[in-house]
Amino acid sequence: MWTAVDVVKVGVIGLGPNGREHLANYEHHPRARVVAICDVDEGLANEVAGRYGIANVHRDLSILERDDIDMVAICAPNPFHGASTIRALEAGKHVFVEKPMAMEVASVARIVELWRQTGLRVMTGLIRRFNPLSQMIKRTIDEGVLGEVFYAESDYIHDLRGYRHMEDPFGSDGIHPLDIPRWYVGDVVEGQAYANRMVRPEPAHPTTLAIYRFASGCVGKVAVTWVPACTQRHGARVFGSEATIIDDRICLAGTDEWMPLPVQPIEGHPYRPEDDHFIDCLVDGREPLINCLEGAKSTVACLVVKDAIEQGGPVRIPQFEE
Ligand SMILES: NC(=O)c1ccc[n+]([C@@H]2O[C@H](COP(=O)([O-])OP(=O)(O)OC[C@H]3O[C@@H](n4cnc5c(N)ncnc54)[C@H](O)[C@@H]3O)[C@@H](O)[C@H]2O)c1
């Protein structure tokens, strides 16, 4: 249940580069304060505690037993997200969980169930939604400028060779390019994927191409590669009956002219707006832009398609009641 607080007291779980980024943002927010942190690496946890003057250091989920925290940010590696989020909700904490929400569909379903039962807030770190360009495209589509959207695609093209031993590129990062067209166009109902292990013969597939059918009838394509011979690209292309958007440019039907969308590009990931938004929602009692269902839908749409790569063929995407 949401209860009014003057200052949101935060616990941060996982203090890698990502967890430290969120921690710094919470410390910066006038209505948030980090009161406890947790990492299995005690040396790292103590160093971070010293840097920020945080008195309470945990090495495990005993952090959730504290009465003096309102929310936790779960920034440990992906396999811990589901179980930690479930435990946090059971302990009565609001949760910011880095993407993906969980690595198992059953955990996602349990998180949604707990969210409905408790009224706590759960936001998944689908950070691209806080990019001003993504927001501009969303507004443009919602205003009807594109007409009927019949095709949407997005990619995650990033050389991450060596990053966590190529653990699971689509399971880890496929959610970013999937969530963006899903946000623009609505729920996905079916998907399938093709993948290869070329260029880097690690156990996981460094390159995956997934195709989706949306409830609206729109079709979509999502590509992830961790082995490109180029700099990062995270674009989106949206095709409507009245206009087409490719990355940051729009072409209106009949004009044959590409115009830049009126938005300032940003450097890096918009972590600060993402973190500010969740804290503001907890202070005001609002549901966040990415409420629990939004995170759940994008997570399961990735998981079931990824799990079906070996068997081949299309799979139905599990649906959640609104
Ligand atoms: N949204 C984004 O754009 C974005 C960007 C980078 C990372 N991420 C996500 O953030 C998370 C962390 O990424 P990272 O690059 O900082 O990872 P990392 O592996 O560098 O750091 C993870 C930290 O968690 C700690 N840890 C491991 N197991 C733990 C446990 N059981 N309990 C507590 N701490 C534990 C590790 O000691 C380490 O300090 C990942 O889930 C990743 O997918 C998201």
Please work out whether the CB of residue 172 comes within 6 Å of at least one atom of ligand 1: yes
Cα→Cα distances 7→261, 283, 288, Å: 38, 7, 17
253 and 276 in a common domain: no
Low-confidence ranges of the chain (pLDDT < 50): none
CATH number at residue 185: 3.30.360.10
User: Residues 54, 35: contact at Cβ < 8 Å?
Assistant: yes
Give 316 Cα–ligand 1 centroid separation in angstroms.
30
Asked if 171 and 251 sit in the same domain, the reply is yes
> Is residue 3 situated within a structural domain?
no
Tokens linked to 231:
């700099």
Is the CB of residue 295 less than 8 Å from the CB of residue 124?
A: yes
Pull the structure tokens for residue 37. Answer: 């942190």
Classify residue 76: in a domain, yes or no.
yes
How much is the pLDDT for 43?
97
Tell me, yes or no, whether 19 and 70 share the same domain: yes
Indicate whether 141 belongs to any domain.
yes
Q: How far apart are CA 89 and CA 61, in angstroms?
A: 12
Whether 106 is in a domain gets the answer yes
The number of residues in the chain equals: 322
Same domain as 137, residue 73: no
- Does one domain contain both 309 and 175? yes
14 and 96 in a single domain? The answer is yes
Say if 293 falls within a structural domain: no
Is there a single domain that holds both residue 140 and residue 210? yes
Strands 236-240 and 219-225: unpaired
Q: Ligand 1 pocket test: pick from 37, 40, 81 the residue with the most ligand atoms within 8 Å of its Cβ.
A: 40
Residues 311 and 192 in one domain: yes
Assigned domain for 322 exists: no
Range of the domain at 224: 132-265+301-316
Smallest CA-to-CA distance from 137 within 221, 223, 245 is with 245
* 321 in a structural domain: no
Cα 62 → chain centroid: 26
Q: Whose CA is nearest to atom 20 of ligand 1?
A: 16
Kindly state whether residues 164 and 306 are assigned to the same domain: yes
- Which atom number of ligand 1 is nearest to the Cα of residue 15? 39
Instruction: Give the pLDDT confidence of 268-285 residue by residue, as tens digits.
Output: 899 999 999 999 999 999
**Which CATH number do you get for residue 15?**
3.40.50.720
Confidence (pLDDT) at 204: 82
Same domain, 306 and 162: yes
Distance CA 154, CA 150 (A): 14
Q: What gap in Å lies between CA 82 and CA 102, rounded to an integer? A: 4
Give the pLDDT score at 165.
65
Whether ligand 1 lies within 6 angstroms of the CB of 125 is answered as yes
Return the structure tokens found at 107.
Answer: 């955990």
Number of domains in the chain: 2
Residue-wise pLDDT for 14-49, tens only, equals: 999 999 999 999 999 999 999 999 999 999 999 999
- Alpha carbon of 79 to ligand 1 centroid (Å): 10
- Residues facing residue 225 across a β-bridge: 157, 207
Same domain, 75 and 206: no
Same domain, 307 and 163: yes
Three-state SS sequence of 91-118: CCCEEEECCCCCCCHHHHHHHHHHHHHH
Assess whether the previous peptide bond of 273 is cis (omega < 30° from 0).
no
Residue 227 placed within a domain: yes
